[in-house]
């Protein structure tokens, strides 16, 4: 009897130790993940120079994005031999790329998978951009541009274009405009429709954002400044993520 009891106790003790080891392992694993998440957060906040309040807003979006799989094609307009608008001192293609580069880390932080139509100063035809979108499994296509008004230098403000018959496109454009208006720093002209190639030929919901007018002295200078590009990037990301979350949210009540 004694021998059996001793064996039983030994087995019990061993099981206990094993359970503790497993639980301890899980605990340590969780701590490592938490530490990694904290480090990622700190890196994003520092490198992208985001103030605490804005970082808090990104955290909220990240939390809401959990469990969703949002793939976004981000299209920096023009590039390479196609310089876009602007004069000899600057090109639209470069401003577009700068804004996109500011947006990517913020989107990824929120849990969005981002695909780019160009990563540097490359020439990419419009057909390649829409073709890439149509071959991909992406959910949304967002094209970033700057505008130019030759006749009237006083014209300024952000515009968001959607394909006329697309209801989802329209509400998506509205969410971008709403986020930009909330900023209090971005002048907004509103949503519009136009026969742009990327809106017409892209099968997934597509919008084109004219972030502002280079032809307007004040807005042109802002568009070329690092600070304003960051402001634009932050609020565009907010609108892009919030608009997506709204569109996948289940309808409430009847
Ligand atoms: Zn353009």
Answer yes or no: is 127 within a domain.
yes
Compute the distance from residue 245 Cα to the ligand 1 centre, in Å: 27
Tell whether 73 and 172 lie within a shared domain: yes
Tell whether 28 and 78 lie within a shared domain: no
pTM, 2 dp = 0.88
Q: What pLDDT band is residue 253 in, cutting at 50, 70 and 90?
A: very low
Compute the distance from residue 185 Cα to the ligand 1 centre, in Å: 22
Tell whether 35 and 154 lie within a shared domain: no
Tell whether 3 and 90 lie within a shared domain: no
Tell whether 34 and 59 lie within a shared domain: no
Cα–Cα nearest to 62, from 252, 250, 232, 245: 245
Tell whether 207 and 118 lie within a shared domain: yes
Residue recorded with tokens 């609020």: 235
Q: For the chain, how many structural domains are there in total?
A: 2
Answer yes or no: is 254 within a domain.
no
Answer yes or no: is 54 within a domain.
yes
Q: State the pLDDT at residue 4.
A: 77
Tell whether 140 and 40 lie within a shared domain: no
8 sits in the region (left: phi over 0; alpha: psi -120 to 50; else beta) called alpha
| Structural domain that includes position 80 | 50-248
Dihedrals phi, psi of 143, to nearest 5 degrees:
-105, 135
Compute the distance from residue 58 Cα to the ligand 1 centre, in Å: 28
Answer yes or no: is 71 within a domain.
yes
pLDDT digits 0-9 by tens, 15-42: 999 999 998 888 888 888 888 889 999 9
Compute the distance from residue 135 Cα to the ligand 1 centre, in Å: 23
pLDDT digits 0-9 by tens, 100-148: 999 999 999 999 999 999 999 999 999 999 999 999 999 999 999 999 9
What is the chain's mean pLDDT, rounded? 93
Dihedrals phi, psi of 239, to nearest 5 degrees:
-65, -40
Tell whether 29 and 150 lie within a shared domain: no
Compute the distance from residue 90 Cα to the ligand 1 centre, in Å: 13
């Amino acid at each position: 009897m004694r021998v059996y009891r001793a064996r039983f106790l030994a087995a019990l003790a061993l099981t206990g130790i094993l359970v503790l080891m497993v639980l301890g392992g899980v605990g340590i694993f969780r701590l490592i993940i938490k530490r990694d998440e904290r480090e990622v957060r700190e890196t994003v906040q520092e490198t992208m120079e985001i103030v605490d309040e804005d970082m808090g807003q990104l955290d909220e979006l990240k939390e809401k994005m959990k469990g969703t799989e949002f793939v976004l094609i981000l299209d920096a307009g023009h590039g390479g031999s196609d310089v876009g608008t602007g004069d000899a001192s600057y090109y639209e293609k470069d401003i577009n790329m700068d804004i996109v580069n500011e947006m990517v880390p913020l989107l990824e932080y929120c849990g969005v998978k981002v695909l780019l139509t160009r990563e540097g100063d490359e020439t990419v035809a419009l057909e390649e951009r829409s073709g890439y979108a149509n071959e991909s499994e992406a959910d949304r296509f967002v094209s970033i541009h700057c505008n130019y008004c030759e006749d009237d230098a006083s014209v300024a403000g952000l515009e968001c274009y959607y394909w006329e018959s697309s209801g989802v496109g329209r509400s998506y454009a509205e969410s971008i405009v709403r986020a930009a208006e909330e900023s209090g720093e971005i002048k907004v002209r509103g949503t519009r429709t136009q026969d742009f190639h990327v809106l017409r030929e892209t099968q997934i919901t597509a919008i084109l954002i004219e972030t502002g007018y280079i032809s307007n002295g004040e807005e042109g200078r802002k568009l070329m400044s690092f600070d304003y590009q960051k402001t634009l990037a932050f609020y565009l990301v907010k609108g892009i993520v919030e608009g997506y979350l709204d569109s996948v949210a289940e309808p409430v009540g009847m």
